[in-house]
Amino acid sequence: MISKKSQLPDNDLYPLFELRHSDPHRLLGIHPLSASEVVLRVWHPGAQGVKWKATWGEFQLPCVDERGLFELVINRGQFRRMHISGSVHKKSNEVAPKYAFSGTDPYSCPSEDGDPAYVLEIIDANGNKKSLHDPYAFGPQIGDLDLYLHAEGRHWEIYQHLGAHPRTVGSVTGTCFAVWAPNAQRVSVVGDFNNWDGRFHMMRRLGSSGVWEIFIPEVREGAHYKFEIRGPHGDLFLKTDPYGIFAQHDLRTACMIYDLGRYQWSDQDWMASRASVDRYRRPMSIYEVHLGSWRRIPEENNRPLSYLELADQLVDYVKEMGFTHVEFMPVMEHPFEGSWGYQVVNFFAPSSRFGKPDDFRHLVDRLHQAGIGVILDWVPGHFPRDAHGLAQFDGTALYEHDDPNRAEHRDWGTLIFNYGRNEVRNFLIANALYWFSEYHIDGLRVDAVASMLYLDYSRKAGEWTPNIFGGRENLEAVDFIKSCNEICYARHPGIMMIAEESTAWPAVSKPTYDGGLGFGFKWNMGWMNDSLRYISRSPIHRKYHQGDITFSMLYAYHEHFILVLSHDEVTHGKGSLINKMPEDDWQKFANLRFFFAWMWGHPGKKLLFQGGEIAQWREWNHTQSLDWHLLQYAPHQGMQLLVKELNRLYQQEPAFWQCDDESAGFEWIDFNDNENTVWSFLRKSPLTAIPQEMKLKGEDEVKKPSKKLDSSTSTSHFNCHDILVVVNATPVPRYNYRLGVPRDGKYEIIFNSDAGCFGGSGHYLPPAVDADHQHSHRFWNSIVIDLPPLSTLYLKVP
């Protein structure tokens, strides 16, 4: 029996046509109408005819509404008889798929192997025919447990379910789309496969989870898509996919379907050994890179290198320079290039500016094969207001706070995540885990932690809302940070979580069980500010500011520090490192050379931003390549060689890194010689480092440490010597300068920043100096040595 009027009640029909229905799967497809009837229903705007076709029969569906609704009501007994009679194909002995159909099935009529048992033949206004599988014939592709864990904020692999994922259901290939938009009236998938028309692929809301989902057959990798969202007040939005793994970076802002399942990694050795490495007792020299400006190709419209080109050129360069790690400024997709990547829209997508996701994997893979770790800048503190992004995602404050005193970051004009919302916490923690799992990243440097910790960050009185205890601490953010660090370290042993935190918040890099925030390392912003202020002074004035270079040792062991000279210090009018140096050009280079050498000798891991190693004159510009042409000039060649040699010595000598976080690994020789602007100290290897309390017993009574070193801290393949570091921060040579030393013997000069090969004055120094028995600086032995102008010397203690 065929009806010429829709069987849908008005409270379903009008929401469907008005594109505000939350469960179109309940209306479209095959559904029991009564105990004796089945309805076949298709809505395809613009179609002139629809034929329902199965292996055992076909039906022409009459149009019951000019807006494109086709509907046929069939007697259930007739439907079953036709199915049974057609169960054997007429042209073969192949048995046709059977329905797993029941009168209570609210969704679809699939075959036993999961396929829908029919296709639709659509006839358009020009009489053209096309066959397609009905997207409303498929059941939900997300399980109840996944939805529950997501709502609880504890689904650490939710990125495998939300977003767009190519898959095969039965034998039908397509893409499953899912998005969290709990306050939307309706969500559709729009893309180049449906002419960006939100009428064709309306999604269903899965219960009270706020998740919308649909499987669209025949939509394959490379297709472009967005979500069309009707907000609670009827407003329409075109939004990006928060979990999209590949996205356009220009004004088109669509996501692209991509399959992450085919890449074959070749870094198994690196990944297998990573978990056993004690990062605190290993050298770490980080090269910070902005992928878009490290090197460009002027002949090709000044374009940046691709991921694949970087896999050749950058990997070789970092390896040659001796850095142990690279740190990439944010690679996550961001529309605004001027944000340098810190205004992220697509948190799960490496930027398509440089290639495809697997191309970025290849870059990471190559770095690992070269023995180089990879750190990413990660921005969970805020997100931009871009209309297609996370802001007001479903027409409400979903990812951000609805309290205006907590929603906005005033300095950057961005929005702050609502860390108290389970699904938002889940989004961010799963994102961190995603980069570790899917891209084998070794560490995340968390940007702007201070802005997350304090409710009054960059706000005036009356512009912020205190926490429940009346304080300024953002308790929800603190809890999020702790949880994120705990989960990342638990699920990926050997990784690093690094905080860019600029305040005196205690125990940032201590474990959460010890009262800390749980980061592994913290950027040493205090050392950076003090040392750059000191080094920018004219040498004649430095004697009045000796405290700037000694103060850092008062707190050096409060955290696990990384000494940083980052991108922030060479932009926004601050000038390049070489231009921060005072006096004439020769002194500028000499100042920067001794400064680098002092930094490498100071306790703490190291980070240097691109361009610093070649003493680039120009302030960093994200739209221009580094000035590699400067390497044709000797002073710049010398600076590059100096950094390379510092990295070599740093890794070769355990005294520089084995006891970074222990007071026993450092000892001042003299920091009181303000008049000469000279300071000196010892860096101690693990076999000679002796706790201060043991020294009180006298050197003769102290034995070598009996604690056995594990494989990650063994120094058997290194030279275990203490290193004496001496700095002369003026252009005046200090002749016959006497220094107390810990023992008798020959002190080999293993590094001189003033050496001619680095562009220095070449002031003559012997290969080694002998200690004598003259008391100096509380030591029974001492050496006499010339200190070249603006120089740092390393001497190996016998």
Residues with catalytic roles: 447, 500
Q: Which two tokens stand for residue 630?
A: 């400067």
Q: Can you tell me the distance from the alpha carbon of 463 to that of 471, in angstroms, rounded to the nearest whole number?
A: 14
- Residue 533 CB: number of other CB atoms within 10 A? 12
State the sign of the Cα–Cα–Cα–Cα dihedral 739, 745, 751, 755: positive
Give me the residues paired with residue 99 across strands. 111
Q: Can you tell me the distance from the alpha carbon of 442 to that of 325, in angstroms, rounded to the nearest whole number?
A: 9
Amino acid, res. 235: D
User: Three-class SS of residue 149?
Assistant: helix
Q: Please measure the distance between the N-terminal and C-terminal CA atoms of the chain and give it in whole angstroms.
A: 102
Q: Can you tell me the distance from the alpha carbon of 254 to that of 791, in angstroms, rounded to the nearest whole number?
A: 54
DSSP state of 98: P
Q: What angle do CA 498, 504, 510 make, to 5 degrees?
A: 45
Q: State how beta strands 666-673 and 678-683 pair.
A: antiparallel
Q: Can you list the alpha helix ranges (DSSP code H) found in 495-566?
A: 525-535, 547-550
Q: Can you tell me the distance from the alpha carbon of 396 to that of 79, in angstroms, rounded to the nearest whole number?
A: 46
Q: Length of the chain, please?
A: 798
Q: Which two tokens stand for residue 704?
A: 């070598």
Q: Can you tell me the distance from the alpha carbon of 669 to that of 680, in angstroms, rounded to the nearest whole number?
A: 5
Class of residue 242 by CB neighbours under 10 A (exposed 0-12, middle 13-18, buried 19+)? buried
User: Three-class SS of residue 423?
Assistant: helix
- Sheet with 119-123, strands from edge to edge, namely 57-61, 49-54, 119-123, 129-132
Query: Which of 207, 197, 228 has the alpha carbon at shortest distance from 22?
Result: 207
Please check whether residue 233 is in contact with residue 241, taking contact to mean a CB–CB distance below 8 angstroms.
Answer: no
Q: Can you tell me the distance from the alpha carbon of 97 to that of 637, in angstroms, rounded to the nearest whole number?
A: 73
Class of residue 191 by CB neighbours under 10 A (exposed 0-12, middle 13-18, buried 19+)? buried
State the sign of the Cα–Cα–Cα–Cα dihedral 393, 395, 398, 404: positive
Please check whether residue 49 is in contact with residue 124, taking contact to mean a CB–CB distance below 8 angstroms.
Answer: no
Q: Can you tell me the distance from the alpha carbon of 524 to that of 606, in angstroms, rounded to the nearest whole number?
A: 10
Query: Which of 569, 475, 575, 577 has the alpha carbon at shortest distance from 523?
Result: 569
